Amino acid sequence: MSKHVSVLDQYPDYALNIGIEVHVQLTTASKIFCATANGGGTTPNSCICIVCAGYPGVLPVLNKNVPNLAILAGLATNCQITRRSIFARKHYFYPDLPKGYQVTQADEPICTQGYIPIVLEDGSIKKIRLIRIHIEEDAGKNIHAAGTNESFVDLNRAGTPLLEIVSYPDIESTYEAKAYLKALHQIVRYIGVCTGNMDEGAFRADTNISVRKKDATEMGTRCELKNINSFKFIGDAVEYEIERQIDMLESGQKIVQQTRLWDTQQKVTRAMRSKEEAADYRYFPEPDLPILEIDDAWIERMRAQLPELPFAKAQRLVQEGLSAYEADIIVDDKDLADYYEAARALTGSKQLVNWILRDLLGYLKEHKMDLAQCCMTPTYMAHLMDLLDKGVINAAAAKEVFAAVAATGQHPDDVVKEKGLQQIGSVDELEAIVKATIAAYPEQVAQYRSGKDKMFGFFVGQVMKDTKGKGNPAIINDLLKKNL
Ligand SMILES: [Zn+2]
């Protein structure tokens, strides 16, 4: 892997610390404290009830699937699961939070002290430690109508269950920040707790960045980049922020702790507000919810549901012969990984991964299609590889078969038969054609024998023509060399 260039390379005296908080929307059927559908409602405020709309006097009831998914996420990230965790109220005023507080967890979060492994540029493994994972509810949305002074409140999102996953500031480069986020993004999708859809806000990262002189014992003052919704933007924003903070320090200015936004147009970060301290929120235990008690049996029940995790899968695929690059692409999408493994179970062909990465992904991209919509099933793909490996068809014919199967769902054998793509593969058959060709062009044979090597290509072309492109090129080459 090539070294990723960072602005930090230009400042060898400086070091970087990044801690990331990720908010993950959980895929439960209903919201966290009421029976209202989770994620429903295309028209504003069409998917709310008196609980999630924050009417006074209503009582929350915890959706049991929320701790289920939180435990799953904790186990998948090597956390300890807290046996008695407590909900808390975090107070702040915002129009999209009618209760005036958010129900979250403060002192006793459901998961603590985990880690997520990432692969560094030199191939070594680094564990990014997690401080905690806690459960909380999402707020609604304020909508500021363009070109007017009006603002609106949509509470459809209010009460959506969230996990907040908080890392230690162990991340020391832009590369590591992106690798960490991608790893976490893969995990939550693999275990099925979150769709991972960043455009829809299902996976939102707040990135805390601070720079310091390498020999400084204390970390620098941090700035938080809020809610950036793509890995690329996060990388760009981190790079910008490294340079901004170092420039300030170099010119003798003091960095103020604040929350900043990434301006995708101007490609700069802008101050949004000075960062609140925890004391500003006046946390206290939520009196309307009982202590959440989790026993060993519950934890083991969730552990039994854990699939093979992406990091382990990628390592296994590399052991089984894929390159790190190939394994990375295959593992990044669970559906693609499942596809690969289903086909792999049916064929030993070395060409399989190539055909999946090049032809299958190329086809999906070209036709703007999901894997599930494509008629080239893992079974057909494996069979196509076998046809190719056994020399029944050549590579050019395999491409034709691929395209036909992907479009129609026909069996590869039927396509081969229908289109007459079967290779003329037997040596006897081909040798007869080779001999006939040589006999038909005595002049060219004489030229070749007198040292015109490039005449060889002429004979290959003639034989391929006589076999209507269905001859095995390797065998034809051998036979021509033998007979000329
Ligand atoms: Zn509700």
DSSP line for 272-306: EEEPPPGGGG--EE-TTS--EE--HHHHHHHHTT-
pLDDT of 438 over the 80 cut: yes
Same domain, yes or no: 272 and 374: no
Same domain, yes or no: 116 and 256: yes
Q: Does 67 fall in a domain?
A: yes
Cα of 56 from ligand 1 centre, angstroms: 13
Q: With bands split at pLDDT 50, 70 and 90, how would you rate the model's confidence at 276?
A: low
pLDDT of 2 over the 80 cut: no
Q: With bands split at pLDDT 50, 70 and 90, how would you rate the model's confidence at 1?
A: very low
pLDDT of 425 over the 70 cut: no
The CATH number linked to 456 is 1.10.10.410
What are the residues whose beta carbon lies below 5 Å from ligand 1 (ion)?
34, 36, 49, 51-52
Same domain, yes or no: 272 and 319: no
Cα of 53 from ligand 1 centre, angstroms: 7
pLDDT single digits (tens) 442-452: 888 888 988 88
Q: Does 143 fall in a domain?
A: yes
Q: Does 473 fall in a domain?
A: yes
Cα of 32 from ligand 1 centre, angstroms: 8
Contact 187, 116 (CB under 8 A): yes
Cα of 361 from ligand 1 centre, angstroms: 41
Average pLDDT over residues 312-327: 92
Cα of 154 from ligand 1 centre, angstroms: 13
217-254 per-residue burial string, b: 16 or more CB within 10 A, e: under 16: eeebbbbbbbebbebebbbbbbbbbbbbbbeebeeeee
Q: With bands split at pLDDT 50, 70 and 90, how would you rate the model's confidence at 25?
A: very high
Report which of residues 374 and 219 the model is more confident about: 374
pLDDT of 279 over the 70 cut: no
Same domain, yes or no: 155 and 244: yes
Average pLDDT over residues 354-373: 92
Average pLDDT over residues 315-320: 93
Cα of 157 from ligand 1 centre, angstroms: 10
Same domain, yes or no: 158 and 256: yes
Same domain, yes or no: 73 and 177: yes
- Which of 150-164, 286-300, 405-419 bottoms out in mean pLDDT, i.e. has the lowest? 405-419
Cα of 132 from ligand 1 centre, angstroms: 27
Q: Does 2 fall in a domain?
A: no
Same domain, yes or no: 168 and 118: yes
Pick from 387, 419, 451: which residue ends a domain? 419
Cα of 141 from ligand 1 centre, angstroms: 15
Report how many domains make up the chain: 3
Average pLDDT over residues 113-118: 96
Report which of residues 161 and 477 the model is more confident about: 161
Q: Does 76 fall in a domain?
A: yes
Region of residue 448 (left: phi > 0; alpha: psi -120 to 50; beta: else): alpha
Same domain, yes or no: 325 and 283: no
Same domain, yes or no: 413 and 435: no
Q: With bands split at pLDDT 50, 70 and 90, how would you rate the model's confidence at 432?
A: confident
Q: What is the pLDDT of residue 240?
A: 87
